């Protein structure tokens, strides 16, 4: 039977349209009734809140925030909250759907969720950020619960944001609830290893892929990483510590490139203290744009910034043999087809960047039990789950002669739809 063809989306398609097209490609290989599969295309529930926040100068400004629960079949929903000026409801829907597949793929007892506030966090003072976060949390109390929906950090948010959410939620219910969020500070019940977990998972996935294509040779492997936030910076640090030659990295301001390798520790410290890469001075390196970075000569490309970065316009010029997706949805479906035709292996987002939600699960379990693990235990458990999940995806890909992305979604969708069929449709 021929695989159905798809009309190539344009660059104007939304992240949610990308998520739906990826779903359709994978659903073709899932043995389940079409009507049950149709259910999984829709978010279970959505909440949009418009709320006022007082600025430091006394003026009041309105903001819009979202929370989407995509699916609750396997358990409570899990997903981050991002603060960005261009957040849309469609984007949050896509991210929530990808979280469902990510959790199912690595066999966590979670469904997918995502949240967002339309704001550039750089325009907020610390006090304004706190007031916005607390008000957003108050609006979302009906969505959040340590047994129903557990938020985490994402782009534009961090451990401090989670501390404010935890405190606001706790004040509303009248008792302290550490398990209401993950990614919070260690002194409030956060987990060892959570901050770097997504980046560490990206490098674990990269090494698994390199071994399978017989290219595992760290000192002779050049790595390019787009995005130098929490995911990309820790991925770069860990790769560098393992002996890989990280030749280029970038943040929102642009990137730096040295074909002989970068001093990642210096760059990390520079950015950690508020610097932007466009302002980093070093005569041994070149400054490049984010788009130029994607087509630099390298062995591994890890897009770890935003969605829709590797497009049909970029894919023909990618020089990497391997792409490992640290971001959610960085490759569009039509770019995927071009990369596949060029025999460039793509380790998909729901596998490659699952390290964050895996360690978030560890933090949630530790919070519920008030019993904490050390860093070695965290990293051992993370590596075991990532490796097992990669093995599972590889087997499905080989059996069906499909890409790793489609195979990962087949594994995830199959698990969710089988659980849905077993539970049944209420009432």
pLDDT tens sequence across 371-420: 999 999 999 999 999 999 999 999 999 999 999 999 999 999 999 999 99
Q: Which residues are catalytic?
A: 114
- CA-based angle 203:207:210, to the nearest 5? 135
Taking residue 36's Cβ as centre, other Cβ atoms within 10 Å add up to: 15
Q: What is the pLDDT of residues 304-322, one digit of tens each?
A: 998 899 999 999 999 999 9
Cα separation of 311 and 336, whole Å?
8
SS3 content of the chain, % helix, strand, coil (to 5): 45, 15, 35
Contact present, 226 and 302 (Cβ < 8 Å): yes
User: In the Cβ-directed half-sphere of 208, how many Cα atoms lie within 13 Å?
Assistant: 25
Cα separation of 130 and 137, whole Å?
10
Q: What is the pTM of this model?
A: 0.93
When pLDDT is averaged across residues 209-232 and rounded to a whole number, the result is 95
The SS3 of residue 215 is coil
**Confidence at residue 13, expressed as pLDDT on a 0 to 100 scale:** 58
Cα separation of 263 and 240, whole Å?
9
Q: What is the mean pLDDT of the chain?
A: 94
> Can you give 278-326 as a three-state secondary structure string?
HHCCCCCCEEECHHHHCCCCCCEEEECCCCCCECCCCHHHCCCCEEECC
Would you say residue 143 has pLDDT above 70?
A: yes
Lateral strand order in the sheet of 111-118: 45-54, 60-69, 111-118, 77-84, 149-153
Q: What is the pLDDT of residues 165-177, one digit of tens each?
A: 999 999 999 999 9
Contact present, 281 and 272 (Cβ < 8 Å): no
Work out the pLDDT band at 226, boundaries 50, 70, 90.
very high
**Confidence at residue 134, expressed as pLDDT on a 0 to 100 scale:** 98
Would you say residue 111 has pLDDT above 50?
A: yes
Cα separation of 179 and 364, whole Å?
5
CATH code, residues 15-177:
3.40.50.10860
Would you say residue 33 has pLDDT above 80?
A: yes
Cα separation of 93 and 114, whole Å?
7
Would you say residue 8 has pLDDT above 60?
A: no
Structure tokens at 367: 């919070």
Domain ranges of the chain: 15-177, 197-347
**Confidence at residue 9, expressed as pLDDT on a 0 to 100 scale:** 34
By C-alpha distance, which of 81, 45, 46 is closest to 165? 81
**Confidence at residue 14, expressed as pLDDT on a 0 to 100 scale:** 83
Structure tokens at 183: 């990614």
Structure tokens at 164: 């404010």
Q: What is the pLDDT of residues 366-375, one digit of tens each?
A: 999 999 999 9
Polymer length of the chain:
427
Taking residue 223's Cβ as centre, other Cβ atoms within 10 Å add up to: 28
Contact present, 249 and 277 (Cβ < 8 Å): yes
Domain 197-347 sits in which CATH superfamily? Answer: NAD(P)-binding Rossmann-like Domain (3.40.50.720)
Q: What is the DSSP letter of 228?
A: -
DSSP secondary structure, 13-44, as one string: --HHHHHHHHHHHHHTT--S-HHHHHHTTS-S
Judge if 15-177 and 197-347 fold alike in CATH terms. yes
Task: Decide: residue 169, CB within 10 A, 0-12 exposed, 13-18 middle, 19+ buried.
Answer: buried
Contact present, 324 and 335 (Cβ < 8 Å): no
Q: Which residues contact 406 (CB under 8 A, 6 or more apart)?
A: 22, 25, 26, 29, 397, 400
Would you say residue 12 has pLDDT above 60?
A: no
**Confidence at residue 4, expressed as pLDDT on a 0 to 100 scale:** 34
């Amino acid at each position: 039977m021929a695989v159905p063809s798809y009309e190539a989306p344009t660059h104007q398609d939304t992240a949610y349209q990308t998520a739906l097209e990826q779903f359709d490609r994978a659903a073709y290989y899932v043995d389940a009734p079409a009507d049950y599969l149709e259910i999984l295309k829709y978010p279970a529930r959505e909440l949009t809140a418009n709320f006022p926040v007082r600025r430091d100068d006394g003026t009041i400004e309105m903001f819009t925030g979202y929370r989407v629960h995509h699916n609750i079949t396997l358990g409570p929903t899990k997903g981050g909250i991002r603060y960005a000026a261009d957040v849309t409801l469609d984007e949050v829907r896509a991210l929530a759907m990808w979280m469902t597949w990510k959790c199912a793929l690595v066999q966590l007892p979670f469904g997918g969720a995502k949240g967002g506030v339309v704001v550039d966090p750089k325009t907020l003072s610390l006090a304004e950020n706190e007031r916005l976060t607390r008000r957003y949390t108050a609006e979302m109390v009906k969505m959040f619960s340590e047994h129903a929906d557990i938020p985490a950090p994402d782009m534009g948010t961090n451990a401090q944001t989670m501390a404010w959410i935890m405190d606001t939620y706790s004040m509303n219910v009248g008792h302290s609830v550490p398990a209401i969020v993950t990614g919070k500070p260690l002194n409030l019940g956060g987990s060892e290893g959570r901050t770097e977990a997504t980046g560490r998972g990206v490098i674990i996935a990269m090494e698994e892929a390199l071994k399978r294509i017989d290219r595992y040779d760290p000192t002779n492997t050049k790595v390019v990483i787009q995005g130098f936030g929490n995911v990309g910076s820790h991925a770069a640090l860990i790769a560098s510590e393992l002996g890989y030659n990280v030749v280029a990295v970038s943040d929102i301001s642009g990137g730096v490139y040295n074909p002989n390798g970068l001093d990642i520790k210096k760059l990390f410290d520079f950015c950690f203290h508020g610097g932007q890469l466009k302002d980093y001075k070093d005569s041994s390196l070149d400054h490049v744009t984010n788009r130029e970075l994607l087509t630099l000569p390298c062995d591994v490309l890890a897009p770890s910034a935003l969605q829709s970065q590797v497009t049909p316009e970029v894919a023909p010029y990618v020089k990497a043999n391997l792409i490992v997706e640290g971001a959610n949805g960085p490759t569009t479906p039509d770019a995927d087809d071009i990369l596949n035709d060029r025999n460039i292996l793509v380790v998909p987002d729901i596998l490659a960047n699952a390290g964050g939600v895996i360690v978030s699960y560890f933090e949630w379990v530790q919070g519920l039990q008030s019993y904490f693990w050390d860093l070695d235990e965290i990293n051992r458990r993370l590596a075991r789950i990532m490796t097992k999940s990669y093995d599972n995806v590889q087997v499905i890909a080989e059996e069906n002669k499909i890409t790793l992305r489609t195979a990962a979604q087949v594994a995830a969708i199959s698990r969710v739809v089988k659980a849905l069929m077993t539970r049944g449709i209420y009432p």
